[in-house]
Structure 1
Amino acid sequence: MLSVSVDNPESIVREIVASGEKYGFEVMISLLSKNNFLAESIPESAKSQIHDDIYNNKPEITGFIGDLGLTDVYRYENWIETLRTFSKSDDDFVKNLNDIILNKITDPREAFGIHSMIENHNYPEKLSKEAKDKYLYYINSYIESYPKNEVASYINSKK
């Protein structure tokens, strides 16, 4: 429903988030991540509500810490891209990105989920020094700790 024009998309997002249904949430953020039309066509209050609901529902990477799959990375990339799409501005998104890196990462594998956003959109220069250092620490420490994880090495090579 969110891929077409709907009334009150923020209520649909809230309902999906409240359901706790992980697959539904994954499908939703996949649709929202690049839906600039929706983000630009709704009132600022609805856009802000969607952003906040997504921001407060970070996807979890499960399983053994040494395992990092492309599905986990893709899910996290969609989450971060949805935050970018529904942010008030690029500056606001950079503030969120700094906060995520400094305060919300609970698993070093999450850094790989924000890797393409940081590297492909010139965010290394926009991040605070502390956030950039912490992000690089997560990436480098993970690769050093799990050198046989081909997904981590592959993602890190995409600069």
Structure 2
Amino acid sequence: MGESQLRRVRIDQAMFSMAFDRDVDFEDAYPVSTYLDLDSGEVMWVYENDDDAFADGGVPAEDNRTARERVTSYPDRFLEIPGLEHSEHHDLLQEFLYSGWTDDPDQHARAVHAYSGSIGRWKRSVDDDAINSFYEYVERRTLELAEAHLREHGVEPEWI
């Protein structure tokens, strides 16, 4: 879709990132979908089961039901925010390791060798500089991925 055809939507970047960056395989304890309201820019969490909404997020069942009915009744008004699969978080770490994040060959080698398939174990094995650099990389990269997702669906985000 051409840039001139994109719909500008004011979106709270922090809220959108909470939905988009989440590890759906680990963080979604209950079946939940997240949506962007294309009219208001609001980010919404909608649980499949109304009782789960209260148990997991403190959202009253009636509020969840109303939100789900809005999404169902006006599907063109809402864009699903997919979240990231656990494997995509690992892909981000692997991208980071070879992104040129450090000029120190020893630090780079230690960080590469510390990764054995567990992000948590990797973080326990490297220094704070590597961890902070990784988080900065992930923040930049997931924002790029989020903007690409939005533009693929005709939305030009105006972050607030």
TM value normalised by structure 2: 0.23
TM-score by length of 1: 0.23
Bigger relative contact order, structure 1 or 2 (CA pairs below 8 A, ≥6 apart): 2
**Going by fraction, where is helix more abundant, 1 or 2?**
1
